Structure formats: structure tokens, C-alpha cells
Amino acid sequence: MELLRLENVSVSFKFPEGEITVLDNITFTVNENDFLALLGPSGSGKSTILRAIAGLIKPKQGKVYFKGEELKGINPGVAMVFQNFALFPWLTVFENVELGLKNLGLSPEERKKKVLEAIDLIGLDGFENAYPKELSGGMRQRVGFARALVMDPDILLLDEPFSALDVLTAENLRNDLIDLWIEKRIPTKAIILVTHSIEEAVYMADRIILLSKDPGRVIKEITIDLPHWRDKKSYEFVEIVDDIYGVLTGKPLEKISWKDRRHFNIPQASVGSITGLVELVDDLDGKVDIYKLGEELLMDVEDLLPIVEACEILGFAEVKEGDLILTEAGSKFADADVLERKEIFKELSIEKVPFLKQIVKVLQSKSNHKVPRPFFLDLLKQHFTPKEAERQLDVLIDWGRYAELFEYDDDRDELYLPETLEEANIATEEER
Amino acid sequence: MSRVIWSPIKYRKFSIGDIIILLFLGSIIYGISSLNIIYSEPTQPVGLDLTPTRLPLYALFSLIRMILSYILSFIFTIIYGYAAAYKKNLERILIPLLDILQSIPVLSFLPPVFMAVISLFPGSKLGLEITAIILIFTGQVWNMVFSFYQSLISIPKDLREAANMLRVNSWQRFWHLELPYSAIGLIWNSMMSWAGGWFFLMACEMFTLTNQQFVLPGIGSYLSFASMKGDMPKIFYGLLTLITMIILLDQLVWRPLLAWSQKFKVELVQGEETYESRVLLWYRRSRILRIIREYVTDPIRERLDKFFVERSQKTNKKTYRTSSLSKIFNGFILALILILVLRGFIGLLGLIVKIPLSGWGEILTSALMTLLRVSIAVGIALLWTLPVGVKIGMNPNLSKIFQPIVQVVASVPATAIFPIIVMYLVDLSGGLNIASILLMLFGTQWYLLFNIMAGGMSIPKDLIEVSDLCKLSVRDKWKIVILPSILPYLVTGGITAMGGAFNASIVSEYISFHNEVFKIKGLGALITESSATGNNAFLAASTLTMALMVVAINRLFWKRLFKMSEELLS
């Protein structure tokens, strides 16, 4: 039976500089007994989808239906668990869990009974009078779960609930949740989990919706038929994880549009980490499975993907079916010495990153070869949020500095061409 | 299944806390009934019984006045803070307005408040009482509003979302989220406000308006009278009473509150800074408090809760859009404020145009003189608080010892000691100038010291270690490590200190002592004098000048420095 339906939901945020689309045309349905995972890199708007479902934000276009009725305001049938717990530090465990019951008009005795039941269920017995700051991270998130479950929600919304916990605690809590779910010890009819960990999604959910970023779009929907409890080392499990890696890193949709977009999104990767990755892949004979690489480096997709993406953009490597393969330029870069590397980087970056070229052009066209940072920031703000524009420019400056395309004066907030470059420039102009 | 949920301390005997509470309640009741006796006595035009035995009663009267104006401040704070934080179109007016209101000295509010109140309560002493209470209110409310507003707009997004998801109603949101989140800031600022209240108490309990003197019985007016007569022993007794009361309040009210408020810290990690209070423990064990909680506050809270739950269930159709009715209401409030501001502005213009050019010359030179004195006072304060504050702040043991001491010393109002200083300096050439600067200094150096101490505590330990390892010279250590780290704190302290010094000029540049009036050229003297003689045009013009000057210095100097320090540290 259908519980929830999103129809062509688009969300955009307004900034003084303009509107940024976060979600674009999201459509999917959640049925009873669904354990759905929303999976995507940061910037794919997966948490925003959750907030649209919860009724915390209103979609700009499209509609959210709960039990067939259009949602207007806070969704009456959901409860949410937050990434950073969002507990009230001045309330005890008991009071935190009780808070959601207070507006239901129950008597204090009924409230107490329900709260104690929830606390028992989630394994918090004996901590009723503790304050959140006395608890470990895992126990805090248990309070978060108890607070959500005590409301008897139809749909439980989980916003990366395990990502702030250490590995073991997270695993423990995941298993407890799966246990409650498959043993039907909670009346919850559906769970929606937001995560950026592919493994977590495949381990827990029965259905995964993959999202692309900038703006968030549904790329693919995958059904996981493996029965619980799932073996992370099994062939089928690894197969599915690898597949998803391939889809997320391949991003066929975005690849086409890259060439057309003059200001495409530069991934947040420093020159240092790009160099590091290229060297590493070179040591591994120029080819490596990204999923295994991430596991070996103990890195999340979230952290690894931008670096992989940067290598792709610069033409150092290609991604094929979940493997990262070094190109010719890539292996040349890996073998080169420091100065040669800078040369290669300079050539490639100016060729592949149009905005870097634009920066150099602007600098050259000014008579003193100096341009204040805000100038470029304003250009970027036409395409990004102010915060993102800052980040983009920081990366561009990092790359440009390394490639010796230009220099940057942090005190004066100025980009400028160094003397030698200037002279070289003047020389070439005179030759003409 | 029986569990103890509510009480961490099960046994409760009659404790010292109970005695303190009983004493407090008893004295307030006595004070109120005695107030009645005094008011039923025939009015003596000007005069106050200076018998020292009456001092406890006077102190009580002042305390009641302070409590009433504090309650007023608190209510105002909640309303103003709410409006500024949640109504975007009001925010744009309310916050700059607050900046200006904050820089207006207490006495400038006197004539309009007096007129308004006296016309409501003609010829009664109650009117005077209300005037004094509102005057104290104008001296203590603004920083509380700022603090509450700041807290409201900085409530973490996920806590707000959690509250929404739990579908709490507006009352529960206030009680469980907004008020607790603002508690620490509000308590600190309440302490500052009370200190400010004591500072201007003398001016608020005895004032001259259109050449007529008004006196209200209280510790402030006692001190004013005693110093006017130059009666040294009486000044001393008054001072002793005042200081005793302030220390008692600090120990019995503010310390326990501060220690209690630590539970409202948002960070989930336990900080180093802790405030301990034995008195708090007494209160926690108090039987009276438990009875009050069980039979009075808990039922009231439960009932309130129920009331709001029922109300919110009736209007549960909470949708995304704000209703058009509330939009109209908003617009109406906005228009009302605009009209009031406009009316005030026109009234002000009407007053100011009456001032001749020479008058403006005098105002400007006076302003410069006051600015000079304020700068010297802040400069001297900076000179000693910077090294001392950093030293104490960087050493946890020292700050543990000194913080409570400094807080008590700081809460003694400098205005009360002022007459003694004046007595020694009055015959010296330029003595009044020195006295005036001294008063400003004593009134404001604490703001700097507290903030610099906080700054010193915030310097990262590893930076200090690195600078020690690098064998940096003392000069370099200050330049590279210490100054950049404490700059934001320094600026915050500087803004408060400078604003406070300007405000203090109204009591430091114009003094009645030994049946004589001593005054020096300055903006504060101008304000006090024109308020006393009923020269409203001059009062308006000089107040405006002072407000503009304070706001301009904040905007052009301090805020820029603050921005610079933010960039330096980011």
C-alpha cells in the first residue's frame, strides 16, 4: 500500500545573487514495508528530500502526498533521527523522549509509560535521568531513536544517523535497528535512510535511490533482494556495491553536460591530494578498483570522489566500471620531477578548466596585472551559492598557484601575475 | 515497575537554603508594608531621614525598585527580542534602534518619562516611584535584549528542526528551546544590568527636574543626600550597607544561578570552566523550594502546558504560509513604530532648531572634552587590564582565585565611592577632571578586564607551547600569539567600556557635594544640567550628539577592528 509519494518535486534556495536549484524533478513512491535508502554524494540534496518529506521545507514545484493527501505543513506521520542527534542538552534522557508526547494531550502517567517503553526498547534502561552530555555518542543517538520511535511514526526518517559515530558503535546500532525492523517490534511502516555510504545502504535497505549532484536528480533505482542478515564479504554483496560505485563515479548524465558548461563545478580537491592519488594509482600499475581503494585508505566516497573527479577533469585518469585507470598524461605526471609536473599540470589545467584560462586572461588584460578576489567571486556567484563560490575560488587559486599561472596575495585579497610572467608576456607581445 | 524519575536527591531536610529563602521573603514583605507607611506620612518636600538605623529599610526599598524594574526589563526583553528575531521586516528597524537607545544616557530619558508618568498619576508619590523604576529600566534593559536576540537567531538549525518534528507548540518551543538556549547569556547580562542599575541608582532615586528636586527613600538617595551634605560618616554607613547588599546578592542569587545555568550549555563536551556554588546545593536541598515546586510551580506548568496544548490542537492546521491576518498585523505594528519614530524625530527637530549657533559650538566643544576624558579613561583601563587580564586568563589556577573576587569588586558601584574621591580632589587644580576620569575608569575597566580574561582563556594551549619552543621574545609573543587571539574579546570589551564611560559622564561631570555644585565642561554635565533646569532643547541636542558619537565610534572604529580580527583568525 502506498504511504508516500513525491511528484516532480523541485527545491531551490534563494540567495541575493540568485536562485540555486538543489532538487530537480524528484519522483518516487514509498510503500508500506519499504526500507528505502537515498544515496548520493554531498550536494545531491538527499537531506533536502528528507526535509521535504517531513514538511520542514516546502517544494518550489511539485507535491508530496502522504497517504494520498497533499502535504501542507509538518507531516503528521513521520519522525526524524538527526545526524548530530539534535538532543536538547538541558533535558534529561527521559525529558528528551517525552517532549514529542507533550503536545498530544496525554496525561503525565500515559506519557511516562510510553517513554519508559521506548527507552526499554532501544536499550537505554538506567539512563533515564542522565543528561545527553553524560552519554557516549552511541547512547546519544539511541536517545535520538527513542525520541523518534515514541511518537509511533508511520515513516521513520533517518538523516545520516550513523555518520557521527565511530565504526563499531555505528555497526552495533545499525544491527539493532535492523533487528527491530525485521522482527516487527516497532509499528513503523516504512523507513527512509539518507546516507552517503554505499555499503551502509546495501547492508540495510531493500531499495536504493541513487542521486546525482548539482542539482539532485534521481539517476537510478536499485532493488536489493538479498535476505537479512547480509554478509558484507559475500560475492553478491560486493557485486552490488561495485555496481553502485560504477554508476556514481561514471555519472553518464553529467559527463555530457560538462563540455557545455563553461563554469562546471570544480571538485574540492587540493593539488596535493590529486598528486597523491595519481602516484598511488601509478604504483598499483595504473589501475585500481575505487571501492577497494576507498576501503584501503579508510576514506568515505564523500572524501574520495572529489579527488577522483578532479583527476578525471584534468585528464590524469579515467573511470571505467568502478575502476580508476591512469591515462598517458597521468603516468607521465606520476613519473615527472617537480618542475616537469608543474609544466604538465599547467598545460592540462588551462586546457581543461575554462575558468582558470579566464582568470589568466583577465589578469593579462589589466595594465597592472592585479585583480581583486571579489571580482572573480562575483563571476562565480552567478553560478554558485556564495559559500560554494568561495570554495570554488579557493580550489581554483590552489590549482593556479601550483601551476604558476598566477600568484595570490592573501592579505590584499588580490590575484596577480608574478614579475617573470609579466615580462614574458610583454616580450611575446613585442615580438608580435 | 517503580522508578524514581524526578528527584536526584531524595532526602530533604530543612536546610540553610530554606532559612535564606524565608529571610528573603520576610524582608520583601516587610519592605512593601513599610513603603506603605512612608507613603501615608505627609510629604516632606525635600529631605530624607539620614539616621543610619533606617539604612536596612532604605536598602530594601532600593532592592524592591531594582527587582520591579528588572521584571519590567525581562518582559520587555522577551517581547522585543522575539519581534526582532522572528519578524524580518521589524528586525531591520528594531536592531539599529537598539544600538541608538543603548547609547542614550539614563538622565536623558528622565523628562519624557516623568512627563508621561506624572500626567497619568498626577501629584502622587506613586508616579515618582514609577518614574524611578522606569529610569532604572532604561539603564539595564538594552544589553539583555541584545543577548536574547543574539541567542534566538543563533539557535542551531537541527534543534529547531527537531522541535518542529516533535510538533511542539509555541509555548513549549519557548519553554524548552528558546529560553534554555538563551539562559546563560541572559544571566550574564542580567548581572551586568544589575551592576549598571546600582551604578545609576543615585541618579535615579534623587533627581532635579525643572529646578525642582525629587527624592525617593532608598540607599541611592541616602548616599546622594549624605554626599550633598558632605557628611563623611553617613556616606561610609551608606556605602557599607550597599556593598553588603551587593555581596549578599552576588553570593545568594547570582552565583547559584550561574552554577545552575551551566546545564544549559549546548556543547556536548564538558568544558573546563565550571562555576561552583555551595549555596546552590543548599537551595537544591531546600524543603520550601521543593514544596513550592510540587504544589505551585509544577501544577502551574502542567496547567499552562495543557492550556497551550488545547489551544494548539484547535488551531493545528499549521501551514507553510503565514496568514494574511498576521501579515496585516505585522504591517500595522511596523507602521506604528515608524510613526512613533517619525513623530519623535519631528519633535526632536522642533526642539533642536531652537538652539542658536553658539549653543551648538558649546555642545561640540563639550563633546570633544568628554570624548577626550573617555579616551583617557579607556586608555588607562586598557593599560592595566591587558597584561593583568591575559595573565589571569592564561593561568587556570589564577583565574579560579581571581574571577570571583574581581566580580565582587566590580559590582560595587563606583558612583557610591565617588563623593569620597571628589572630597580629596576638589581643591586640586584640575582635580575635577581627574575625578571625572577616575569615575569613568572605575565604572568601565571591569568590562575590559572580564573580556580580556575570557580572551586569555581562549588562547589555544598549543600556540603558547609553540611560541615557547620557538623561544619567541616577549614582544613577539604578544604580537604574534596573544594579541591576535584576544582581539575579538578586546573589541567587545572596548565597545561596552567606551559606551559605559560616555554614559558615566552624566554623573561624573556634574556633582552636588557639600551643598555646592561642581561641574566641568563636558557633554555629560550639559545633559545633567539641562535636564535639571528643564532646558529640553539643549537636553535633546546634547543627547543626540552623544548617541551619534557613540554609534559612530562603534561603527567606524570598533566594528572595523572586530571585522579585521575575525578575518585574522579565520
The alpha carbon of residue B145 is apart from the nearest alpha carbon of chain A, in Å, by 22
Q: Is B515 on the interface with A (CB under 8 A)?
A: no
The A370-372 sheet, strands edge to edge: A370-372, A414-416, A407-409
Contact yes or no for B167 and A100 at CB 8 A: yes
Domain-located, residue B476 = yes
pLDDT at B506: 86
Range with the largest mean pLDDT of A135-149, A251-265, A353-367, B417-431: A135-149
**pLDDT tens string A367-417:** 888 888 888 888 888 777 778 888 889 889 989 888 888 888 887 888 888
Cβ neighbours of B169 in A, within 8 Å: 103
Cβ neighbours of A112 in B, within 8 Å: 5
DSSP letter for each residue of A86-153? ---TTS-HHHHHHGGGGGGT--HHHHHHHHHHHHHHTT-TT-TT--GGGS-HHHHHHHHHHHHHTT--
User: Residue B90 half-sphere exposure, CB side, CA atoms within 13 Å?
Assistant: 21
The alpha carbon of residue B77 is apart from the nearest alpha carbon of chain A, in Å, by 22
Paired with A323 in beta bridges are: A289, A320
Per-residue pLDDT band for B7 (boundaries 50, 70, 90) equals very low
Rounded-to-integer distance, Cα A192 and Cα A183, Å: 18
The CA-based dihedral angle spanning residues B24, B27, B31, B34, taken in that order and rounded to the nearest 10 degrees: 170
pLDDT at A420: 52
**Mean pLDDT rounded to a whole number for chain A:** 85
Residues 6 or more apart from B570 whose CB is under 8 A from it? none
What are φ and ψ of residue B53, in 5° steps?
A: -65, -20
Cβ neighbours of B260 in A, within 8 Å: none
Mean pLDDT to the nearest integer, B341-369: 83
pLDDT at A66: 93
Residues 6 or more apart from A185 whose CB is under 8 A from it? A121, A179
Q: Are B431 and B539 contained in the same domain?
A: yes
Cα→Cα distances B359→B197, B421, B538, Å: 32, 32, 8
Domain boundary among B244, B267, B290: B267
Cβ neighbours of A132 in B, within 8 Å: 268
Domain-located, residue A288 = yes
Domain-located, residue B278 = no
Q: Confirm whether the ipTM is greater than 0.90.
A: no
Rounded-to-integer distance, Cα B130 and Cα B126, Å: 6
pLDDT at A427: 42
Give the residue numbers spanning the domain of A151. 2-250
pLDDT at A257: 39
Domain boundary among B250, B267, B284: B267
The alpha carbon of residue A96 is apart from the nearest alpha carbon of chain B, in Å, by 10
What CATH number does residue B409 fall under? 1.10.3720.10
Domain boundary among A223, A250, A277: A250
Residue B129 pLDDT exceeds 80: yes
Mean pLDDT check: name the lowest of A166-180, B113-127, B355-369. Answer: B113-127
Contact yes or no for A99 and B305 at CB 8 A: no
Q: Are A243 and A303 contained in the same domain?
A: no
Cβ neighbours of A145 in B, within 8 Å: none
pLDDT at B323: 58
Contact yes or no for B302 and A108 at CB 8 A: yes
Q: Are B217 and B38 in contact (CB under 8 A)?
A: yes
pLDDT at B275: 66
Q: Are A168 and A148 contained in the same domain?
A: yes
pLDDT at B537: 83
Contact yes or no for B318 and A132 at CB 8 A: no
Contact yes or no for A51 and B1 at CB 8 A: no
Q: Are B391 and B525 contained in the same domain?
A: yes
Grid look-up 587644580 returns: B429
H or E element at residue B205:
helix B201-205
Q: Which of A57, A61, A69, A74 to mutate to test the interface with B (most CBs of B within 10 A)?
A: A74
Work out the percent of chain A whose per-residue pLDDT is above 70.
92
Q: Are A148 and A39 contained in the same domain?
A: yes
pLDDT at B381: 94
- CA gyration radius, chain B: 25
Cell of B286: 531546600
Verify cis geometry, omega within 30 degrees of 0, for the bond prior to A229: yes
H or E element at residue B208:
strand B206-209
With b for 16 or more beta-carbon neighbours within 10 A and e for fewer, the B512-543 pattern comes to bbbeeebbbebbbbbbbbbbbeebbbbbbbbb
CB pairs under 8 A between A and B: 96
Domain-located, residue B252 = yes
Domain-located, residue A348 = no
Work out the percent of chain B whose per-residue pLDDT is above 70.
89
Rounded-to-integer distance, Cα A400 and Cα A139, Å: 46
Cβ neighbours of A88 in B, within 8 Å: 159, 162, 176-177, 180
Mean pLDDT check: name the lowest of A23-27, A324-328, B467-471. Answer: B467-471
pLDDT at A4: 94
Mean pLDDT check: name the lowest of A85-99, B145-159, B285-299. Answer: B285-299
Domain boundary among A193, A219, A250: A250
Q: Is B314 on the interface with A (CB under 8 A)?
A: no
Cβ neighbours of A147 in B, within 8 Å: 162, 166
Residue A223 pLDDT exceeds 80: yes
Q: Are A220 and A305 contained in the same domain?
A: no
Name the closest residue on chain A to residue B319, using Cα atoms: A73
Torsion sign (Cα): A125, A126, A132, A133: negative
Domain count, chain A: 3
Domain-located, residue A344 = no
Domain-located, residue B496 = yes
Per-residue pLDDT band for B556 (boundaries 50, 70, 90) equals confident
**Mean pLDDT rounded to a whole number for chain B:** 81
Residue B199 pLDDT exceeds 90: no
Q: Are A246 and A268 contained in the same domain?
A: no
User: Residue B118 half-sphere exposure, CB side, CA atoms within 13 Å?
Assistant: 11
Domain-located, residue B322 = no
Q: Is A131 on the interface with B (CB under 8 A)?
A: yes
Domain boundary among B217, B239, B267: B267
Q: Which of B157, B174, B267, B268 to mutate to test the interface with A (most CBs of A within 10 A)?
A: B268
Rounded-to-integer distance, Cα B46 and Cα B206, Å: 10
Q: Are B256 and B371 contained in the same domain?
A: no
Q: Which of B4, B151, B157, B166 to mutate to test the interface with A (most CBs of A within 10 A)?
A: B166
Per-residue pLDDT band for B72 (boundaries 50, 70, 90) equals very high
Q: Are A220 and A320 contained in the same domain?
A: no
Amino acid at B230: G
Count of residues for chain A? 432
**pLDDT tens string A287-317:** 888 777 777 777 766 678 888 888 888 889 8
pLDDT at B489: 84
The alpha carbon of residue B319 is apart from the nearest alpha carbon of chain A, in Å, by 4
Domain count, chain B: 2
pLDDT at B503: 85
The CA-based dihedral angle spanning residues A260, A266, A271, A277, taken in that order and rounded to the nearest 10 degrees: -80
Contact yes or no for A99 and B166 at CB 8 A: yes
Q: Could you tell me which of B511, B297, B526, B254 has the C-alpha nearest to residue B408?
A: B254
Judged on CB neighbours under 10 Å (0-12, 13-18, 19+), B403 is middle
Name the closest residue on chain A to residue B261, using Cα atoms: A90
Domain-located, residue A340 = no
Cβ neighbours of B310 in A, within 8 Å: 105
The alpha carbon of residue A146 is apart from the nearest alpha carbon of chain B, in Å, by 12
Q: Are B377 and B231 contained in the same domain?
A: no
Domain-located, residue A104 = yes
CB atoms within 10 A of CB B473: 10
Residues 6 or more apart from B268 whose CB is under 8 A from it? A85, A89, A132, A133, A140
Q: Are A227 and A36 in contact (CB under 8 A)?
A: no
Cβ neighbours of A128 in B, within 8 Å: 3, 5
Q: Which of B167, B301, B305 to mutate to test the interface with A (most CBs of A within 10 A)?
A: B167
The CA-based dihedral angle spanning residues B282, B285, B287, B289, taken in that order and rounded to the nearest 10 degrees: 70
Range with the largest mean pLDDT of A77-81, A212-216, B234-238, B328-332: A77-81
Verify cis geometry, omega within 30 degrees of 0, for the bond prior to A215: yes
Q: Is A13 on the interface with B (CB under 8 A)?
A: no
Domain-located, residue B86 = yes
Give the residue numbers spanning the domain of B159. 51-267
What CATH number does residue A323 fall under? 1.10.10.10
Instruction: Out of A74, A84, A89, name the one closest to residue B164 (CB).
Output: A74
Window 137-176 of B, Cβ < 8 Å to A: 156, 158-159, 161-162, 164-169, 172, 176
Cβ neighbours of B159 in A, within 8 Å: 86, 88
Residue B196 pLDDT exceeds 80: yes
Q: Are B261 and B359 contained in the same domain?
A: no
If phi > 0 it is left, if psi is from -120 to 50 it is alpha, else beta; for residue A285 that is left
Domain-located, residue B65 = yes
Instruction: Out of A84, A102, A116, name the one closest to residue B305 (CB).
Output: A102
pLDDT at A301: 65
Domain-located, residue A328 = yes
Mean pLDDT to the nearest integer, B215-244: 87
Domain-located, residue A383 = yes
Cα→Cα distances B513→A289, B47, B228, B421, Å: 89, 15, 4, 11
Cβ neighbours of B8 in A, within 8 Å: 129
Q: Is B271 on the interface with A (CB under 8 A)?
A: no
Q: Are B151 and B259 contained in the same domain?
A: yes
Contact yes or no for A58 and B167 at CB 8 A: no
Mean pLDDT to the nearest integer, B536-548: 85
Q: Which of A103, A112, A147, A413 to mutate to test the interface with B (most CBs of B within 10 A)?
A: A103
**pLDDT tens string B381-409:** 999 999 999 988 888 788 778 877 887 77
Q: Is A108 on the interface with B (CB under 8 A)?
A: yes
Q: Is A116 on the interface with B (CB under 8 A)?
A: yes
Per-residue pLDDT band for B282 (boundaries 50, 70, 90) equals confident
Rounded-to-integer distance, Cα B339 and Cα A76, Å: 43
Window 380-419 of A, Cβ < 8 Å to B: none
Q: Could you tell me which of B321, B320, B324, B344 has the C-alpha nearest to residue B332?
A: B324
Domain-located, residue B241 = yes
Name the closest residue on chain B to residue A151, using Cα atoms: B166
pLDDT at B268: 53
Residues 6 or more apart from A34 whose CB is under 8 A from it? A3, A190, A191, A192, A206, A207
Q: Are A327 and A363 contained in the same domain?
A: no
The alpha carbon of residue A103 is apart from the nearest alpha carbon of chain B, in Å, by 5
Q: Are A269 and A329 contained in the same domain?
A: yes
